Chains A and B, each alone.
Chain A
Amino acid sequence: MLGNKCEKCQAEFFPPVNICRACKSIDLKPLEMPGAGKILSYTLQKESVAGFEEQEPMVFGLVELSNGVRLVAQIVDFPYESLKIGSKVKAVFRRVKADGPSGQIYYGYKFGPPRSPRETSATEE
């Protein structure tokens, strides 16, 4: 998860921005996001959007990373019943959805428990 950081005021962003949203500086450098975060809110979704049919129902959450950056991600390997606002999660690298029409495989980030049983973490902390 590559975001960026404002060289002037140190604010961090994901996805990366062209202009710092805090101080409007254009002096930004790429920065790898931390993999650790916590759940701000979450939902168990019966029907998703095209490409996710085989994963339904799926859980996704609004995650706040340890640096304060927020994103939406599918939550995996986490028993839904034990999921709470504030639960700690960690980024994992996964196949995101069904393959594309010409066979391309969509990989990306999802989030799992802090100690994910099956996967290595997507980013170093």
Chain B
Amino acid sequence: MPSILILRDNQYDPQYRNMRDVFVLGAGTTKYGKSHLSARELALEASKKALVESGIEPTDVQAGFIANAFSLSEKQGHLGPIIMSGLGIADVPASTIESACSSGASAIREAWVNIGAGIYDCMLVTGVEKVSQLDTITATTYFSFGSDYIFEGACGASFPGLYGSIARAHMSKYGTTEEQMANVSVKNHENGMLNPNAHFHKKITVDDVMNSIVVASPLKLYDACPFSDGAASAVLCSEGFMLKMNGHASEAIKIVASGRAGGTGALHQRPDLTTLNAAVLAGREAFKQAGLAPKDIDFLEVHDCFTIAELVALEDLGFYPRGEAAKATQEGQTRINGETPVNPSGGLKAKGHPVGATGVGQVVEVYEQLNSRAGHRQVKDARIALTHNVGATGGSCAVHIFEKN
């Protein structure tokens, strides 16, 4: 009898009984890119920005979460007390949330749970990553620790290789082309040009992508996001806390849904290589919770660690039928002025991917967009936004939906 590949191991629908509404009071980010600063310095810079944006003092913070995946590469674990001490609030409890590349959204999620449950009224969530001190092979190896290492990384498979396998399977099943994937990169670089905090400010063409060196066929260098340093931070609070904040309350963003799901750590254990089941489940949960559908979303920030990942994300979340996101991207539907703007920030591809910071950085973009403060990359009349943050090849995923208060 053939082995069994399971889509969902349990049928449990999480119950959110008596949860209070949770808001993003303020959010801020460092510039993404290569930095000479350490993780703690980056985290403190972003945290201070979030506190200023929120109009609160460090002493208003009741608890914190740090999102980080690779601080041990800097020989520093236990970032919670390091960062809280740096803010002068050493007695405030804070711990690290690690969920590979979705650490950021997972930390937002856990703060949402804590505040929603009535345990805290004000929490600081800071995501940070510092990897530019590592050479490429060491960085790639660290990243592969987020896969099912013994059965993937230790067999030589890197993340570009695993996503390359997803890309080839998608091309074979749906006829997606390398040129179509290149369009994702061109679009995200175009958006990144408009984001002062982006890692790359460089306009590229489809030819540039097609002619860049092959990293893991069919993916090329310009199909892949960079290793970035950076930090992003957000202050989450209850409605009662927000209302005490006078002026700053008018810029608060309501978290209308938080969905999450898991998948097998190993890509090969999934029944279908062209979809991340965790993203399908997390998206479904978020839409159900919010009582919304893809057509209600004004823009999205999705996890485009590779160009193929953005196409798969749009299909997993139900924005396009299977196999049709590539054509929609080619037609310009996902550009800032298109029907479904995707990654106006530049996404992981151009804004950058400081792993632990990425999911929190998506929230910073939502905060700025929904407050009409995104400058030249502003999505017109943006009121409802969705974020999608994936761990590794889909071992974890968190999807959030936000609405301007």
Contacts and interface: CB of A to CB of B under 8 A. Distances in A.
B4 A46 contact: no
Nearest to B268: A70
A67 B141 CA distance: 31
A93 interface: no
B4 A42 contact: no
A77 interface: no
Interface in A47-67: 47-53, 55, 58, 60-63, 67
Given A21-B9, A62-B268, A72-B267, A46 B215 contact: yes
B141 A68 contact: no
A105 interface: no
B268 A44 contact: no
Contact of B266 (A43, A60, A72): A72
Nearest to B137: A50
B169 A49 contact: no
Of B1, B5, B156, B160, most buried by chain A (CB within 10 Å of CB) is B156
Given A40-B169, A43-B165, A72-B151, A11 B158 contact: no
Contacts of B141: 49-50
A15 interface: yes
B155 A70 contact: no
Contacts, number: 129
Contacts of A52: 156
A121 to B, nearest CB: 18
A18 interface: no
Contacts of B268: 40, 62-63, 70-72
Interface residues of A, number: 41
A15 B151 contact: yes
Interface residues of B, number: 43
A11 B214 contact: no
B161 interface: yes
Contacts of B162: 72
A2 interface: no
Interface in B212-255: 213-219
B122 interface: no
Contacts of A61: 165
A60 B161 CA distance: 8
A70 B1 contact: no
A75 to B, nearest CB: 10
Contact of A44 (B154, B155, B216): B216
B153 interface: yes
B172 A85 contact: yes
Contact of A49 (B3, B153, B215): B153
B269 interface: yes
B144 interface: yes
Nearest to B155: A72
A60 B168 CA distance: 12
A45 B161 CA distance: 6
Nearest to B136: A47
B151 A62 contact: no
Interface string A1-29: 00000000111111100000110000000
30 contacts: A21-B4, A21-B6, A22-B6, A40-B169, A41-B172, A41-B273, A43-B164, A43-B165, A43-B218, A44-B214, A45-B157, A45-B158, A45-B217, A46-B216, A48-B161, A50-B141, A51-B156, A52-B156, A53-B137, A61-B165, A62-B169, A62-B267, A63-B268, A69-B2, A69-B3, A71-B268, A72-B152, A72-B157, A85-B169, A96-B155
Nearest 10 A-B pairs (CB), nearest first?
A68-B2, A43-B164, A22-B4, A10-B1, A41-B165, A70-B268, A45-B161, A44-B217, A41-B169, A49-B141
Interface of A: 9-15, 21-22, 40-53, 55, 58, 60-63, 67-74, 85, 96-97, 108
Given A41-B169, A50-B138, 10 more contacts: A11-B3, A43-B160, A43-B218, A45-B217, A49-B154, A52-B156, A58-B156, A62-B169, A72-B152, A72-B267
